[in-house]
Structure 1
């Protein structure tokens, strides 16, 4: 399978020029075997290769094929959970470190772009928007938490202030922050791959892992060869599927979809988002949107917990966009695509070990662009013998999704409830 087998996204159509990588043929031995050439795996591979480890990255398709090359491009701060809840689970001291980790995750994106000269339309500025008063109240609480942890570059917005920042009457309040932002996600991923290869890592595309051994001598098996290693990093997230049953039972692949318009006029683009921020609303089934580097509206949302994709994604997504921006009703729609987000039961990322030297991180629950790269860094730190930060994140214990093989229809029913809740005042 290759890039031509995935739905054509705006990102793939506008990808930077890049070289492909061979498939694995035969058996090799390395210090570290990494499964997955997305942000998690490539970030770990880059840090480890720079530290002198021999690294092999196995990718089932091509670099950025999964969520790392299809997502909304939003660099989110914080977690999909309140810090109050996090403190209840792991204590104030470890929660403070968890906050430092998520803060560094955002900074790491900018650092990678600068250090490796990655051309990916990186921009800063982010808005959380409330469509009803109870959501605006939640944003006030969020602002209090962010301020308590040192964020002094945020600002609550009333309805008038929101209207100055977005060409829509759909929102009654908001929270603006300076340090979050947006990026061309596939070009960022391709840049990480280039940097990892330059540092000495080897990437093998079109090499799906059939099974893994996670004992004292980790080994990954593909159809045409094996990688034996001292350490293993599992970074496939939702695209790892049931290759490792322990992980799959604690993760739900959820489909999300993104619509891309034609390039808009400069005046139209400025009337929609004059500050060029990334935006997400406060619904449980979130809408998220931003402008691309060439002034397209990229509008995402409509989570699907079943494995069935709508037959006409354009018709499926357009009403969601025009409900926010009716002025885009006549805009030509160029691309629409979907992909899987990995979520956990409690929406906190899942870190841990399988055996003595196999590390994993998954379930970033909508915050993956920054958190997954940081997860790769923490796994690399642990492999190098500095596991304190990784161990703090591994303190979050994750139950399996209830329902066993019936969990998907059960979650579909649950989502009906949340859609109704989003509709209530």
Structure 2
């Protein structure tokens, strides 16, 4: 059986027993493909609604982005409330933002209900990389207040920045108490244990090789097959292996993180006095937080080739030291990477194929939205699809260029935005 990719998270993972490989014929009400946040949440919510559920994971639970991400809990979607209101009008934007923001309480509720030990901490600081970005943030909070009476966020003026993060790069920002950060792999493992307790049968090392979405849904692996009333596709960047059309909706983008050696409590507190997760407003952003061991967990950099860097720590270090010059030469104990599924317009993609549901394309905002998506999928199975359809009706289109040109065209676009970050 495959092991989790080496990382700080794998090294500090809570115990979780390996699950069997699927062999032979099985049946259930629901078959879920993918053992990350989306699939685990869908399986758990469906089981709690009374469905029999089988979950198939190709490697280990939390093996993909769910067990490798930056652990940032950022409320909302990649589009802010101001963008949504400008595009869709106040009423639709209000519904979308309200439902998306409910993911904050949903994730916290799951952690509390199941006693998931995942180092949950409160607060997210969105740092303005340019003075003009702070003006955009003011407009965003004005729209949030108008639409929802949103009260958990506040503007941080430039002179207050050092009280949130000790970096010379920023020009204020906004702090949202509803955000936060956690140990993502341990959250995934905790959801998996909760799913097992609810009666879900989980099979690891059971990659689905083909799927038929007509009734009954059929999911086939190398050693077995599952028939079910409903299917759930929850494999994000691997979606194209089962459905090429869905695979064209997202671009897998390589993402790299490091974790420093543990810092002294005083030094750690001086770096991020707020204790919050921090991300900046650059298009190619930096994002970071302190772990339970007072390590700085830092993600950043521009890598457009699918080939990983020869030395991930050396690749990320310049970005870390640019944000925190006071950490020049700091020892890095862990470095790892993974793939993030990004849509062309950065909005998530929900929908149905026959008797199967899917949700993917989190575009860097998946730590909260994925748990919500699983809940909405389970509701839709029960005939209550209003919220699911609100997201399924968001505009989407595939990346242009076909199989040969999709990646080069994407790289050109990213290089343009990276240039804008520097201007």
Once the two structures are TM-superposed, the CA of residue 79 in structure 1 deviates from its matched residue by 1.3
Q: Distance in 2 between matches of 1:368 and 1:239?
A: 15
- 1:77-226 to structure 2, matched below 5 A, reads 77-87=75-85, 89-148=87-146, 149-226=148-225
Q: Distance in 2 between matches of 1:84 and 1:125?
A: 21
Match of 1:51 among 41, 49, 52: 49
1:410 paired residue number = 409
2:246 paired residue number = 247
Q: Distance in 1 between matches of 2:208 and 2:165?
A: 45
Q: Distance in 2 between matches of 1:93 and 1:137?
A: 24
Q: Distance in 1 between matches of 2:232 and 2:256?
A: 28
1:264 paired residue number = 263
* 1:277 has 2:276 as partner: yes
**Can you give the 5+ residue segments of structure 2 that lack an aligned partner in the other structure?**
none
Q: Distance in 1 between matches of 2:400 and 2:67?
A: 30
* 1:299 has 2:298 as partner: yes
Q: Distance in 2 between matches of 1:260 and 1:204?
A: 31
Is this contact kept in 1: 2:260–2:332, CA < 8 A?
yes
Is this contact kept in 2: 1:2–1:206, CA < 8 A?
yes
Once the two structures are TM-superposed, the CA of residue 85 in structure 1 deviates from its matched residue by 3.7
Once the two structures are TM-superposed, the CA of residue 90 in structure 1 deviates from its matched residue by 4.5
* 1:361 has 2:359 as partner: yes
Once the two structures are TM-superposed, the CA of residue 188 in structure 1 deviates from its matched residue by 0.4
SS in 1 for 2:187: helix
Over the residues paired in the alignment, what is the CA RMSD in angstroms?
Answer: 1.3
2:17 paired residue number = 19
SS in 1 for 2:363: coil
Alignment size in residue pairs? 421
Is this contact kept in 1: 2:163–2:274, CA < 8 A?
no
Once the two structures are TM-superposed, the CA of residue 142 in structure 1 deviates from its matched residue by 1.7
Is this contact kept in 1: 2:218–2:227, CA < 8 A?
yes
Is this contact kept in 2: 1:66–1:239, CA < 8 A?
no
Once the two structures are TM-superposed, the CA of residue 240 in structure 1 deviates from its matched residue by 2.9
Q: Distance in 1 between matches of 2:88 and 2:166?
A: 41
Q: Normalized against structure 1, the TM-score is what? A: 0.97
Is this contact kept in 2: 1:40–1:372, CA < 8 A?
yes
Is this contact kept in 2: 1:306–1:409, CA < 8 A?
no
Q: Distance in 1 between matches of 2:245 and 2:140?
A: 33
Once the two structures are TM-superposed, the CA of residue 145 in structure 1 deviates from its matched residue by 2.1
Is this contact kept in 2: 1:73–1:184, CA < 8 A?
yes
Pair 1:328–1:84, CA change in 2 (3 A): closer
SS in 2 for 1:207: coil
Q: Distance in 1 between matches of 2:90 and 2:154?
A: 25
**Can you give the 5+ residue segments of structure 1 that lack an aligned partner in the other structure?**
none
* 1:322 has 2:349 as partner: no
1:421 paired residue number = 420
Is this contact kept in 2: 1:254–1:303, CA < 8 A?
no
* 1:391 has 2:403 as partner: no
Q: Distance in 2 between matches of 1:111 and 1:352?
A: 26
2:2 paired residue number = 2
1:68 paired residue number = 66
Q: Distance in 1 between matches of 2:172 and 2:232?
A: 42
